[in-house]
Amino acid sequence: MTGKLKTLTKNQLFLPFAMMVLVLLINLIKSPDFFAINIQNGVLYGRLIDILNRGSEIAILAVGQTLVVAVSAGTDISVGSVMSLTACGTCMLLAGYGVNSTTTLAVPLVVGLLFGLVLAMCCGAFNGFLVSKLNIQPMVATLILFTAARAIGLLLCNNQITYIRYEPYKYFGNFIPGCPVPTAIFITVVVVAIVMLFLKKTAMGLYIQSVGINKKAARISGLNSSNICFMCYLICGLCAGIAGIVASSRIYSADSNNIGRNYELDSILAVALGGNSLGGGRFNMAGSIIGAYTIQAITVTLLAMGVSTDQAPVVKAIIVVLIVTAQAPAFKAFLAERKAKKLVQENETQKKEAA
């Protein structure tokens, strides 16, 4: 029994998961109806649904971010801006350049969406090229699009918020009529499933890990390190694009200033909360996704408790510090040392008693 418990607590996913449960438990004590889920107006309704729904963007971003962190021991800080660019590109094409609000589409919806995703993949490819081929530090390489992508989006939208008041465009961030589950949840599930399958069914996961641990060694053993690195950035860009479309669809517009603002930080945090080392190498996708929903759970909790949205970051920071500390190797070592000392003491007292 204790053995089983030990393997459970030793699992990398244990702590992230426990943290999320803890956050949710605090809510349960505060207000028992936090977990209530019912059907209202034909759709699922409740705080848990809010967490799953609103956490979609961070979860999708975390998928890409995890790969980038694992393969290059660096972070892609352009994801928030790429979200904004994707939204702007999509809305611009759908509405026609310079149109501020439209109820009819200039091009078919699919074309607009594909264009947005292609834009996002170009951004990913650009980042990947700088990091993998030119060996620029990830933080510096992605800093370029971090500043530029939002501005390019703004140019595409002719300096204004472009509204797409066309019902099907709202589906991705809201509900498809007749379906009680928010569409964003489906999108997240599909993205996560595809990437997980890709990692599990091909050797890609292993490759990424080996490149992350030692690029040279991986290369010598026959892996094309730079191509693998490039691909991770490409996937990360695509994920940012998908998240951007969801975020844009929620407000059926391209708000270049606000879409994806600070999301790069949340996505990196999600990776860290998931127990992944930001030093690259071994990674756990499930951990990052749990991390993403933990962040959203904290946000929703604070809103539910009526903590003013301005002060919320302080509380959020405290919780994050606690979670990260609990997972820090130094802290774990400290606990282990204390445990060992205790054992030694016990042993000694036992010896004395015996004597």
Asked whether 295 and 55 are in contact (CB, 8 A), the reply is yes
Q: Should residue 41 be labelled a site residue for other proteins when binding is judged by CB under 8 A?
A: yes
Find the shortest distance in angstroms from Cβ 317 to other proteins. 18
Q: Should residue 38 be labelled a site residue for other proteins when binding is judged by CB under 8 A?
A: no
Q: Which is nearer to other proteins, 51 or 290 (CB)?
A: 51
**The one among 11, 13, 26, 46 contacting other proteins by CB under 8 A:** 46
Choose the binding region for other proteins from 6-14, 129-137, 183-191, 281-289 (rule: CB under 8 A): 129-137
Both structure tokens of 218: 């991986």
Residues 6+ apart with CB under 8 A from 53: 182, 184, 185
Asked whether 71 and 273 are in contact (CB, 8 A), the reply is no
- Tokens 């015996």 sit at which residue? 354
Q: Which is nearer to other proteins, 248 or 276 (CB)?
A: 248
Find the shortest distance in angstroms from Cβ 312 to other proteins. 9
Provide the CB-side half-sphere exposure for 137 (13 A, CA): 3
Q: Should residue 45 be labelled a site residue for other proteins when binding is judged by CB under 8 A?
A: yes
Alpha carbon separation from 212 to 74, 99, 102, 134, 201 (Å, rounded)? 10, 45, 46, 17, 19
Q: Should residue 32 be labelled a site residue for other proteins when binding is judged by CB under 8 A?
A: no
End-to-end Cα, the chain, rounded Å = 33
**The one among 13, 118, 125, 181 contacting other proteins by CB under 8 A:** 125
Size of the site for other proteins (CB under 8 A): 47
Closest alpha carbon to 269 in 290, 250, 247, 251: 290
Binding mask 142-171 for other proteins (x = CB under 8 A): --xx-xx--xx-xx---xxx-x--------
Binding mask 290-329 for other proteins (x = CB under 8 A): ----------x--xx-x-xxx-------------------
Round the CA-based radius of gyration of the chain to a whole number and report it. 23
- Reduced to 3 states (helix: H, G, I; strand: E, B; else coil), residue 27 is helix
How crowded is residue 299: how many other Cβ atoms within 10 Å of its Cβ? Answer: 20
Choose the binding region for other proteins from 61-69, 72-80, 248-256, 329-337 (rule: CB under 8 A): 248-256
Q: Which is nearer to other proteins, 124 or 280 (CB)?
A: 124
Find the shortest distance in angstroms from Cβ 277 to other proteins. 30
How far is Cα 106 from Cα 89, in angstroms, rounded to an integer?
13
Q: Should residue 40 be labelled a site residue for other proteins when binding is judged by CB under 8 A?
A: yes
- The CA-CA-CA angle for residues 208, 212, 214, to 5°, reads 120
Give 44's strand partners: 39
Binding residues for other proteins, per CB under 8 A?
Answer: 40-43, 45-47, 50, 54, 100-101, 122, 125-126, 129-130, 133, 144-145, 147-148, 151-152, 154-155, 159-161, 163, 174-175, 247, 250-251, 253, 255-259, 300, 303-304, 306, 308-310
